[in-house]
Amino acid sequence: MARRAKAVLVGRRLLQAVPALIGIVIVTFLLTRALPGDPAVYFAGPAADEASIAEIRRELGLDRSLPVQFVAYLGDLASGNLGTSISTGQPVLTEIVTRLPASLELTLTALILSMAVAVPLGILAATRPDSWIDHACRFVVTAGVSLPTFFTGLALVYVFYYLLGWAPPPMGRLDILTLPPPHITGFYVVDALLARDLSAAGSALAHLALPAITLGLFTLAPIARMTRAAMLQVLGSDFIRTARAAGLSRRQVLFGYAFRNALLPVVTTLGMVFSFALGANVLVEKVFAWPGIGSYAVEALVVSDYAAVQGFVLAMALLFVALNLIIDLAYTLIDPRMGLAD
C-alpha cells in the first residue's frame, strides 16, 4: 500500500511538472532570441562580409520567422537533439553531459560540508540560547550571507595557495600531469576511488577543497538559521514538555522527538539552497577555472549561443523537477502523514 501511494505521488508530481516545463521551453526560446548580438556574426568572424553573414544565418535557420524556428526547435527536442553549440562546435547534449557532473560534484560536496557544520551548530544554538554558541551561530550566519562567493573564493586562493602554498593552483579539477579516472559517475573523486587510483583521487580532492569550501560557506548560513529557528519552535511545544515530564532522557527528547519534527523545514531549506548553489557556483567556477555547466552557460550568453543557453535552462529545469520530487519523497519518509494528506 505504501509503495502504491508513493508511486501515485511520483506520478502526480511528474504530471504537475509538465506545464512548468512547457512554459520554461517557451520563455527560454523567446528570451534567447531577445538577447543582444547576432550568433551568425560571431560564427562568421570579424572579417566576414554581409553576404557571408546572411548565408550563415540561413544555415543556422535564423532567417526564418520565430514560429517556424520554434516548431523546428520542438521537433529537435522530441528527437533528443538539443542542437550544436556555435561557441564550441560540439553538440549541446554532449557538453551538458560532460560538464554537469563537475557542477554537481562541486555543489553536492559543498552541501555536505555545510550540513555537517550547520545542522549541529543550529541544534547547539537552539538548545543553548544566548550562549556563546548561539552568538557564534549568528556570526557565522551573518558572515555567510554578507560575503560574496567570488570574494570568499579569491581570499581562500590568496591565503591557501599564494601565501601558504597548501592548495594546488586554481586551474580545473586535476593537476596538469594527472590523467582523469575512468568515467563511471563523472565525479572525479568517486571515480578515482572506484578505480583505486589514489593519486588521481588525492589530486581531485585537493582541487575540490577550496571551491567546495567557498560554496559551502555560502550555503551554510540559511541551513544553520533554519535549523536553529525550527529547533527553537519545536523545543517550546507541548509534546516536548510532555516527553520531558515522562522521564525521557535529554538525548531521546532532542533527537527522537525535537529534531525529527524540525526536519521538514530544514529539508525544504536544503532544497532551496541547492537551487541557489547551482546559480552561485557560476562565480565559483570562474574563480577556480572549474569546467562546470555554469561557466559554460555564461560563455554561451556572451556570444548569444541560442542552443547552448536553451539546453542549459532545460537541463536545470529537469534537475529542479527531480530535486522537488526527491524532497517530496523525503517528506513522506520523515512524516508518513504528508503522503496521505497529499
Same domain? 176 vs 316 = no
> Which residues contact residue 267 at a Cβ distance below 8 angstroms, ignoring those fewer than 6 apart?
327, 330, 331, 334
Amino acid identity of residue 130, one-letter, is: D
Same domain? 81 vs 229 = no
Distance, in Å, from the CA atom of 179 to the CA atom of 51, rounded to the nearest integer, reads 45
Check if the beta carbon of residue 99 is closer than 8 Å to that of residue 291. yes
Structure confidence at residue 140 (pLDDT): 80
Distance, in Å, from the CA atom of 68 to the CA atom of 84, rounded to the nearest integer, reads 18
Distance, in Å, from the CA atom of 211 to the CA atom of 285, rounded to the nearest integer, reads 8
pLDDT digits (tens, 9 = 90+) for 39-60: 676 666 666 667 777 777 777 6
Same domain? 277 vs 327 = no
Split into its structural domains, the chain has a count of: 2
Distance, in Å, from the CA atom of 296 to the CA atom of 315, rounded to the nearest integer, reads 13
Same domain? 272 vs 335 = no
Measured from the Cβ of residue 179, the count of other Cβ atoms closer than 10 Å reads 11
Amino acid identity of residue 121, one-letter, is: L
Structure confidence at residue 340 (pLDDT): 47
* CATH number for 155: 1.10.3720.10
Which cell numbers in the block locate residue 317? 529545469
Same domain? 49 vs 194 = no
Distance, in Å, from the CA atom of 138 to the CA atom of 228, rounded to the nearest integer, reads 10
Q: Residue 94 domain-assigned?
A: no
Of the candidates 110, 33, 160, 84, which has an alpha carbon nearest to the alpha carbon of residue 270? Answer: 110
Same domain? 276 vs 169 = yes
Same domain? 249 vs 274 = yes
Of the candidates 37, 35, 33, 86, which has an alpha carbon nearest to the alpha carbon of residue 59? Answer: 86
Percent pLDDT > 90 in the chain is 3
Q: Residue 15 domain-assigned?
A: yes
pLDDT digits (tens, 9 = 90+) for 156-198: 888 998 888 888 888 888 888 888 888 888 888 998 999 888 8
Question: Once rounded to an integer, what is the mean pLDDT over residues 110-134?
Answer: 86
pTM assigned to the model: 0.81
Residue-number span of the structural domain to which 256 is assigned: 99-302
The SS3 assignment for 17 reads helix
Q: Residue 92 domain-assigned?
A: no
Same domain? 297 vs 316 = no
Structure confidence at residue 72 (pLDDT): 80
- Whether the pLDDT of residue 342 is over 60: the answer is no
> Which residues contact residue 213 at a Cβ distance below 8 angstroms, ignoring those fewer than 6 apart?
110, 113, 156
Which cell numbers in the block locate residue 34? 531577445
Same domain? 284 vs 330 = no
DSSP state of 91: B
Stronger pLDDT, 234 or 33, i.e. the higher one = 234
Q: Residue 139 domain-assigned?
A: yes
Same domain? 67 vs 155 = no
- Whether the pLDDT of residue 108 is over 70: the answer is yes
> Which residues contact residue 262 at a Cβ distance below 8 angstroms, ignoring those fewer than 6 apart?
227, 230, 231, 233, 234
Distance, in Å, from the CA atom of 186 to the CA atom of 274, rounded to the nearest integer, reads 19
pLDDT digits (tens, 9 = 90+) for 57-71: 777 677 777 788 888
Stronger pLDDT, 73 or 123, i.e. the higher one = 123
- Whether the pLDDT of residue 341 is over 70: the answer is no
Of the candidates 108, 110, 82, which has an alpha carbon nearest to the alpha carbon of residue 96? Answer: 82
Same domain? 121 vs 174 = yes
The residues with which 84 forms a beta bridge, in sequence order, are 91
Measured from the Cβ of residue 279, the count of other Cβ atoms closer than 10 Å reads 10
Amino acid identity of residue 196, one-letter, is: R
Of the candidates 272, 296, 304, 271, which has an alpha carbon nearest to the alpha carbon of residue 103? Answer: 296
